[in-house]
Structure 1
């Protein structure tokens, strides 16, 4: 299936897997139906630049993926915008695990949360999915502010984080540098005559433009002296093996503790800024620390562990999550607006992860159930 628009297909082929290997993650669907979901899901890779330089998802309408021009993903019901009178709005922010990469509209965490709230008798709430690929809590803070700038105010906001905040512990300068290079080149050409600008464009095309454009998933390991030991393939395999058994922060040594402290400090800063904006606008907020395949996950809940060869930086979650549980989520563990969902998948007799991090419908529903228990008393 070379040339498939969805990058996941090329990735599973690169590690010797096939589309049929995804069947356990999509109970009841045929390989052809999974392929349709993946082809629709590829549209989420089309990223427009939004306010504050954020990358969103282009509006689209397909059988399984529908993104509204207002920037949220539909839950499969054709959600109204603005919403109906008398209905309160819960905005959910997060990365691609919140957006629901490579699952249908109704199978995302926000969609399952809306369904579970209705089952709990909370029909007066509409859940809007503002997840976007590769977002960390810092990006979500800016997305939240951008909506407030437009006068769009939810009645409650939920921020689901953990994986990307661990993944981007060391930042993502390569994409920033590439985009700035293209921008500066265009500015330069605007000051030239037509022929000079064309010649300059072709010179750039032979160098910068001929290489691969970095993606939002590229990262910089920064201080390789402490980052590199955590993402060798042996270290990643050890982290996966430790996911289903207790381990303290010493299992990952000083490098793991340093990564965890860095991640948690940055997350704390994002939380503080979100809280400040929410307080000013009188919006209740809830922060949820999400499940990941590197913690409290049984091997049978994952189906494509070889993919972690291609995404070794995801293993940063292992020291972060074990450190947080050993140390009680410093400064957040007892906070009334924080909930730890990292063990939400325990006991789930189904595939939880359809690739390196994205949730299946069964896992999204399990997370939604746990969230209802936390959110209902606040609604």
Structure 2
């Protein structure tokens, strides 16, 4: 039996009362040194005989760490487990433990033995570690309108206690409702280190207005907080409206080139359309236009266009073709003597009412007349 143990037994047998103080809590940082104060760092009693540090093992038994006697300059390490080369004592009788890990989250007790007193000061150690990294995984390229789509997975790695993750949209916290907002959290414990990795996956049913939205993953921990931004994302949605435009400079006249342009409001815009040209259905790929070259009066009528992948989505426009046929009798060059009567007959066929005017031009060479007819719609 060593002298310290003998003195302890002597104190017990002489009726010295053991006093146990309330447990103090000390926070340590993972991987760094732990400083466990004895009696909050207060000065040792003048009649101090020795100080002993011990701890509570996982099975509830007590393990000895070290003992420091007043007459000895060096402490004697009593630990035989993984603490044997990790513990020491400072000049205030505090316990020093190197390379803190989660296995050090225990209750350590400083036993102070003086000539007529025996005090114990238990200290509970909590080891914190902030996340080693916060990152976004499985980030989406686009969002779908009215359909829950994965925005991304936010991961906060290797922390203690586990980090918490919150999602925000445009700085407003998102609350899961199981429909438009689906948040799936998970925590994975590393069996070797005891550290926790927190993950949270956000699924979101977007609207058209969300094309400018910015999503934020916020990781919170007792030692730190960190934000990672995602977006904005393009929002994809099917076409809800189709329109048909007729491209022409003014009224369409027989012989003009007329371009039909089919517009749809989907995103991304449709790339293929059907153009219904009279009794024909023309598929146009990678374009939204179809040109009618040299249109004729027979081409007048209703034209349609529709989506290639949804023909129920269609639009129509009517095309009116203007035309006029004009003939004169007689034709060509007509020679008359002075004073003769010239009768000219005109026949016309037009798509609309026309006005006709007659103009004569004096020709000095023959002292005759040339007649010019100017029909007008």
**Do they superpose with TM above 0.5?**
no
**Larger strand proportion of the pair:** 2
**Larger helix proportion of the pair:** 1
| TM-score (norm: length of structure 2) | 0.17
Larger radius of gyration: 2
| TM-score (norm: length of structure 1) | 0.17
Higher relative contact order (CA 8 A, sep 6+): 1
